[in-house]
Structure formats: C-alpha cells, structure tokens
Amino acid sequence: MQPARPPGYSSVSMPESSLLPILLVPDKRLRTKTRAVGPADLDTVRELAPRMLATMYKAPGIGLAAPQIGVMLRMAVVDLQKDDQPDPMVLINPEIVAQSTELSTREEGCLSLPNQYADVTRPTRIKLRWLALDGSKQELEADDLLATCIQHELDHLDGVLFVDHISALKRNMLLRKLMKELKNKTRDEE
C-alpha cells in the first residue's frame, strides 16, 4: 500500500541490486489468487522478506504483497514505522478471522498503481492470524491505518486491487489516468 503522504522511512540496508521490481497494472499476476506458503517454500520466503521490505521502503510504501513482485505465495510485509522507527511485520499465510461491522473510509494508494488514490471503505477493526518467519503462530487485533493496510495487502493475495472497492466509473477514470501516465513515462524514457 502506498499512503497519500508517505512518512520519511528508514530503509533496510541492502544493495540496490537486491531490490525487486514492482509489477504495475495491468499485469495479470496482480489479478491472480496466490497459494499458501508450504514447508518447501520457507527458504524462499526467508530470502524474500528482507528484499521485499527494502523494496517497500525504497518505493516508498507501507505494505507490499508477494504478487506485486511476481511471487504467487500468500505473503506480505507491512511497516507503519511507529514513532519513525522500523516496526516491520512479515505475514505468512495471513487470514482475517474477525472484523468489525463498523466501517471507516481512508484514502488508499498502491505501489502497483503509482500516484493513483481513492477513498476506500473497509471494516475499522480486524483480527489477524499469520505465521512469522520463525514459524510461530501470531495473532493481532488491528484498527485504523494498520487495519486498512493489512486488508489492502491481503486483497492482493486474492487478486483484488483497491480500485475494486470503488465505483466502476471512478475505477475506469483512475485506470485510464494511470495508463496515460505510464504511456507518457515510457515515451519520455525513449
């Protein structure tokens, strides 16, 4: 997820060559449901986690899901940087097990739809379960921006984009604007 006004992030120390390319709409992998991380995937996940975090910080963003880098596993990273200090979460096989009936609306953006923002309404509070990198089971109750960010990243794991939560008219306008910007950027780079 890309916040409207990203805070000044510290980044994970990694060489530029370790950063991962972020897929952009209309890449079909962004619309593909991911598969659960299994025991055979753990080495891959452990290698990917710091690279995903470094890529997210560099973008800058506050969340990044594996399909956004072309890896079709149920994995995401999130860091809202409490008090401007890194506080990364690596979410393996995350699932929302409860959510509030109370809804809130926040402006969302996405690293796969650069510079595009829209108001999205989601449950205000959620309860999340996931596996940590060490294999331990984790559980968290989240609200406000953290709840929004987690829901946004988990949507990616099911092939859903934040624009799927807005009206068709707004979605089409936003996607046309993005395609025009990407086309102009490509033209400028040539």
Active-site positions read 153
Contact 96, 143 (CB under 8 A): no
Rounded Cα distance, 56 and 111, in Å? 8
28's tokens: 């079909």
Q: Which amino acid is at 34?
A: T
Report, in this order, helix, strand and coil percent for the chain, each rounded to 5: 40, 30, 35
Rounded Cα distance, 163 and 75, in Å? 21
Rounded Cα distance, 57 and 6, in Å? 10
With a CB cutoff of 8 Å and minimum separation 6, the contacts of 169 are none
